[in-house]
Amino acid sequence: MDCIFCKIVAGQIPSDVVYTDDRVIAFRDINPMAPVHLLIIPREHIVSLNDITERETPLLGHMVQVSKQLAKQQGVGTKGYRVVINCGSQGGQVVQHLHMHLLGGRELSGGLG
């Protein structure tokens, strides 16, 4: 498989890992859009949110819990942060491996409410 995130999970491509467990790995984005910009990805290759089945629903909940924990560890938990999952090319998904962005550390614009 030629998935950059799968290669990061396998240790074939170096990354600045901030969290890892048996289901997910989190690392700093190489092109950060905020002072804190982490990517939280499942170890299992899942292309996008559209490919989630009932079996993976607990995994998404785990990813949200990890994002909350990391926000606190990164010092943005109380000031505010954004968690985003892009889906498909028109939704802004660049890497075809499900991932969650955690952004914070500055005032974020363009919110939806």
**Which residues participate in catalysis according to the annotation?**
99
Consecutive H or E run containing 67: helix 57-73
DSSP 77: T
Q: Cα(9)–Cα(103) distance, rounded to whole angstroms?
A: 21
Alpha-carbon dihedral angle through residues 92, 83, 34, 90, given to the nearest 10 degrees: 10
Judge whether 46 and 53 are in contact, CB under 8 Å. no
Partner residues linked to 28 by β-bridges? 38
